[in-house]
Structure 1
């Protein structure tokens, strides 16, 4: 039996299973990961089967994380800058949120780089927004070839934006259902100098679904939000 060659696709699937409830896809990638001992099948008390990342799979994820950390630093810097821009606008922002979204083919994990909502006491005014960050052309093109991922983002956000590093693509290469921001980055580890709206994202009225509220309840928004930034015109709360 030939050893399974672990590719980027396998590593991505491992990460998705690790972040999810472990529902099986029953495709070729899953079969190879099971054969390699990186995933294991577990049967629940009611007979349903889920997947678990094994210790060997965790080791592969840790190795991938170490190898990609330096390469991802410009990406992480841009994620940080976009999240901070959302908090300066009076929004609550999260990085690395994982939410199950209903799509045409079933369920998919939506894991936007930045997810934010308005700080408001009126549910209809929450205005959830997704920002996906891309600093390399190859990464952007690979992402654009995954319509299900984009569909999942549109299921959890009333607006979906791609924030791209200047020079890696033209705005019209991004599908029209998404907005485009272009970022000027001064250097490898530098924060963006400027975020420029190249095409506004279509805004759709949306209420945050219950699974998203549960994911937000389990996560922690980034620091930096201030009470006096939110809902201009409202009187401050008397804490005396």
Structure 2
């Protein structure tokens, strides 16, 4: 009964009261929590009402925390599993890089009607265009960023793979168009990776590829349901610098290459 009642707003209010002095808001959410006996009302000698979590309320927060830890662990395991597939295909993979990307500037909230351009304001003394830029910078942190293992820049084919283990996480990501645009600016192809039961391919924007996991994290297999739209992408210098500072993941095949560095046996 309690689990059917609770929403993320109820859990957020429980956490807020746990962190605060317990001053009540006296709204509908607190009525629900009091009726479910997750909160109890105390009155101070001065006549002020305060709220305290009951043992059941604390258990609700503890259970939500345990589920969050499990989901985070499953997300990391899914990302690692797909990274191993990318590395086995000859790609170099990085986890959770912080990269700066250019996206379209959002329109102003109260845009004025366009006015005829003033030629005297378009150019400064040096002849450089000083009009408002058409893009802004945003920090992106893709789950997996990879390039082909090649020495030819034109063949790098940078890719971004966003890993989503739960439907709630996927839907939250799909609501942020600027975040998706930043991913696309950084790579030639962008894909979503999630368990097969999380979403249908038609729920994902057409430009993005779709990979799904069939089975468990331990012995499941990946299937590509839809390829991503390919676009030409030349890695900017800032991305090169971030890759140079970061350490790529090491796969099981790295040990097989160690022999290439061994010294040759001495000749008689």
Name the TM-score, length of structure 1 as normaliser: 0.64
Residue equivalent to 2:71? 71
Alignment of 1:207-218 (within 5 A): 207-218=234-245
In terms of Rg, which structure is larger? Answer: 2
Aligned residues: 169
Report whether the alignment pairs 1:158 with 2:185. no
Report whether the alignment pairs 1:123 with 2:153. yes
Report whether the alignment pairs 1:203 with 2:230. yes
Change in CA separation of 1:192 and 1:147 when aligned onto 2, cut-off 3 Å? farther
Change in CA separation of 1:185 and 1:160 when aligned onto 2, cut-off 3 Å? same
C-alpha separation between the residues in 2 aligned to 1:156 and 1:119?
17
C-alpha separation between the residues in 1 aligned to 2:227 and 2:76?
23
CA contact (8 A) 1:92 1:222 kept: yes
Deviation at 1:135, TM superposition (A): 1.3
Residue equivalent to 2:6? none
Alignment gaps of 5+ in structure 2: 1-11, 13-64, 106-135
C-alpha separation between the residues in 1 aligned to 2:157 and 2:84?
17
Alignment of 1:83-162 (within 5 A): 83-105=83-105, 106-162=136-192
Name the TM-score, length of structure 2 as normaliser: 0.58
Give 3-state SS (helix, strand or coil) of 1:215's partner.
Answer: helix
Alignment gaps of 5+ in structure 1: 1-6, 8-64, 230-235
Change in CA separation of 1:170 and 1:192 when aligned onto 2, cut-off 3 Å? farther
What RMSD over aligned residues (CA atoms) do the two structures have, in Å? 2.5
Change in CA separation of 1:93 and 1:163 when aligned onto 2, cut-off 3 Å? same
C-alpha separation between the residues in 2 aligned to 1:117 and 1:87?
10
C-alpha separation between the residues in 1 aligned to 2:203 and 2:218?
24
**1:138-164 residue CA offsets vs partner (Å, 9 max, x unmatched):** 111110010000000001110000012
**Which of these residues, 135, 154, 176, is aligned with residue 206 of structure 2?**
176
Give 3-state SS (helix, strand or coil) of 1:221's partner.
Answer: coil
Deviation at 1:206, TM superposition (A): 1.3
C-alpha separation between the residues in 1 aligned to 2:213 and 2:194?
6
Q: Which runs of 4+ in 1 moved over 2 A?
A: 65-71, 225-229, 236-240
